[in-house]
Each structure stands twice: as C-alpha cells, then as structure tokens.
Amino acid sequence: MNTTLNISSYKFVALPDAPEIQATLLARALALELKGTILLATEGINLFLAGPADAVRSFVDQLREDARFADMAPKESWSDHQPFKKMLVKVKGEIIRMNHPTIKPADGRAPSVDSATLQRWLAAGVDDSGRAVVMLDTRNDFEVDHGTFNGAIDWRITKFTEFPPALLAHQADLADKTVVSFCTGGIRCEKAAILMREVGLEHVYQLEGGILKYFEESDGSNYSGSCFVFDERRTLDAALLVAK
C-alpha cells in the first residue's frame, strides 16, 4: 500500500542566510521523522523529502511561514516504502551546479509552458505561432536512457556543467525554432532556458515543473519510457508509480 508521500520542490530566491537556516530545517525534518535531502545555497533551495503525509505536509507548512518560501508548491508522488536512507541538509555553492555565475534565476525566469499547452504543441508539431517545436533534454545521458519525450534533442552530457559548452556547439541547430527545455522537476531546465536566451535564442521556454509535473497533469502522451529519480525508487512511470 502506498502510504509514503514523496515530495520534490525548489525555488530560486536570495538566501544570504543559507548556513544559518541549515540547522533549523534539519531539526524540523528530524522531529517529523522525515528522510531525504535539502540543498541550500545563496541562490535558493532544492528539496526531496519522504515520510507520512501529515508529517511531510507539516514540514511544508512550516517552511511556507518564511515569506521567501510562501509560494512553494511541491510535486507529490507515493510509494510503499521510505526511499531515502537518512535526512541531510547541505549548504552548497549552487542548488544545481552549472558553473555559470551570470545565470541568476532569482533575478527573473525564462518564460514557461504548462503541460496542456505543451501537449497541444507536440500534437501539432508547431507552437501557437506556427513555429516548429523542439524538445531539449537537459538531463544527464543515463537519465535520458530511461525515458524522454519523443524526438527530444539529447546532447549526451554526463553532468549539468557540460550543458553550456554543448549549447554553444549546437546553438545554430536551434535557431528559428521554439525550444522547450525540460528535466526531471524543472530546476535544470530553468537555468538552461535562461542561458539559451542569454546567448541569443529568442523562442525559448522551460517546461513548468519538469517531467514529474507533466506526468501529474497529463496522460504522459508524447513521452516514452520512465523518469529517473534520485532515490531508491529509481524510475517512475506516467502514473507517478515505481516503473515495472
């Protein structure tokens, strides 16, 4: 029986006090007997937590008491076991490492596209302006191998820091197209979309909430395979259940 609630969420927001709130968040999570990982950096927060539903939602409610996190809306899925071994709260240089300091999502996001709109575009092959739509997978190669959007561009990167040079090498291939960047939960494709606009690509969107939100809000059409997640569940299907 799936009684363990799993959540993932992130927000790019200025956190100059990241080291100070580390201990507070760890104490709260341990008191609620949650397990998972929370990453903090001056650019924001990225979290993956699992436990009984009431405990997980209590943690989120407490987190939202800080105005900087008030609008966080975690993506939810369920499992029949605890997929994490321990509870960690880490302070890092970036919540998702890109090694490109000019990319600051907290200063302004690239435009996003929701699941329903993306489904319509993919069915038609063009966006609402009649421009060809291409999907750009910003994940690592081994993640892509478990599943991706049909026909998605995959540059076979092995870590996200390889995305900027890969973009420069393939930038001409994306000109005059509508490019939708995507990843597991939205965090990588958010930085990727900003970088693409920075280098001069005009028609760039990020998939709001990533693959997991797409699974939550759609029937999973136009996607083949499963979605790799970084816990003991390994991969989820379009119903957000452990893939068989």
**Residues with catalytic roles:** 183
Q: Contact 31/23 with Cβ under 8 angstroms?
A: no
Tokens at 92, concatenated = 């890092």
Nearest residue to 125 via CA among 10, 53, 222, 36: 222
| CA–CA separation, 184 and 12 (whole Å) | 16
Q: Any idea how long the chain is? A: 244
Q: Are strands 87-91 and 35-41 parallel, antiparallel or unpaired?
A: parallel
Nearest to 21 by CA among 85, 89, 84, 121: 89
- 10 Å CB burial of residue 88 (0-12, 13-18, 19+) is middle
